[in-house]
Amino acid sequence: MESTDGGDEERTTKGSAWDLPDLPTGTLPPHIQLQKTRVVCNKEAPTNTENVQYAGAYAAAGVDNTVRLDDFRENFRVEVIKLTEDDMEFDLIGLDASIANAFRRILISELPTMAIEKVLIANNTSVVQDEVLAHRLGLIPLNVDPRLFEYMSENDTANEKNTIVFKLHASCAKGGSRITVKSEELKWLPNGSEFLLAKGNSASNQDSKQKTYTSFSCSQDSLPEFADNPIAPKHADIIIAKLAPGQEIELEAHAVKGMGKTHAKWSPVATAWYRMLPEVLLLKPIEGDEAEELVKKCPVKVFDIEDIGRG
């Protein structure tokens, strides 16, 4: 069983500062080094949770606490532990927890994605209210690179560079059985909206071509970025609604570029969290039944029991 040496025991016990051994200039005492580099989980609460940023914090010991970019580059590294299509796990080594938390917040709220923002409902006789239906559609992830689109401001017209249009038309025939409407029924409209704006009463409007809710100058599927990779929901089996016989949903959904700090539907991650790498220090030898119980309590088998020879 692993145990700590005398130095570890010294740094965890309380005593007078006058009892500390003399250290060469440029070296921090063990208890200060512990305070600087470790968060300690005590019975009541964790300690050493604050980061010391002041360059002269340890000047009395001859230690320069200045953050230098060259030193950061030398000590910092990223190790990818797991990488799949849906999740990623990695270790940030040589980085303060506050920076790791800032990175987590950026992942949640400051990375742009495409999400459905406007829903034009022509007919909805399902039990799902229009507002709830629009909210559900907004949370469906879309398989598209947001870097290929521009942000849309309030005064911009929806065009092929800032808007993606989907249509959904599902109905359940009378006398049939209930059906489930899933995200696979959202069909991409590369030419833009098919819903017509209301006509005016003037003669000029009657002679001109009727406008739609978008103004596309070209078809999106003619662009090389989408020729071999058509836009669609990321997952085809997300349930949108269930229709009873005689019920129908007909709508258009317009997706635009945004960030999670505006609305959670633009957040590219479901959850983003971090934890500090644990370092377990045993303050005294553990023997007998206590050692066996400690080994059983750790599911990843961090601890092992060693036979101690008796002379």
Which residue(s) pair with 180 in the sheet? 242
What's the pLDDT at 238?
97
Q: Are residues 158 and 83 in the same domain?
A: no
What's the pLDDT at 9?
46
What's the pLDDT at 17?
65
Count the domains in the chain: 3
Q: Please report whether residue 32 resides in a domain.
A: yes
Q: Are residues 98 and 128 in the same domain?
A: no
| Residue 35 one-letter amino acid | Q
CATH of the domain at 162: 2.170.120.12
Q: Are residues 123 and 219 in the same domain?
A: yes
Q: Please report whether residue 291 resides in a domain.
A: no
Q: Are residues 254 and 153 in the same domain?
A: yes
In terms of Cα–Cα distance, which of 138, 117, 145 is closest to 230? 145
Q: Please report whether residue 133 resides in a domain.
A: yes
What's the pLDDT at 210?
79
What's the pLDDT at 260?
96
In the Cβ-directed half-sphere of 191, how many Cα atoms lie within 13 Å?
A: 4
Question: pLDDT (tens digit, 0 to 9) for every residue of the chain, 311 residues total?
Answer: 333 444 444 444 566 767 777 888 888 888 888 888 888 888 899 888 888 888 999 998 899 989 889 988 999 999 999 999 889 999 999 888 888 999 999 999 999 999 999 999 999 999 999 999 999 999 999 999 999 999 999 899 999 999 999 999 999 999 889 999 999 999 999 999 999 987 654 444 554 567 899 999 999 999 888 888 899 999 999 999 999 999 999 999 999 999 999 999 999 998 899 988 888 888 888 888 888 888 888 877 778 888 766 54
What's the pLDDT at 11?
47
Q: Are residues 177 and 218 in the same domain?
A: yes
Q: Are residues 159 and 86 in the same domain?
A: no
What's the pLDDT at 6?
44
What's the pLDDT at 295?
86
For 172, residues 6+ apart whose C-beta sits below 8 A from its C-beta are 178, 179, 243, 244, 245, 246, 247, 248
Q: Are residues 70 and 85 in the same domain?
A: no
Range(s) of the domain holding residue 66: 7-74
Q: Please report whether residue 310 resides in a domain.
A: no
The position carrying tokens 């009463």 is 201
What's the pLDDT at 15?
64
What distances in angstroms separate CA 70 from CA 67, 74, 84, 99, 270, one per listed residue?
A: 9, 6, 32, 17, 35
Q: Are residues 124 and 250 in the same domain?
A: yes
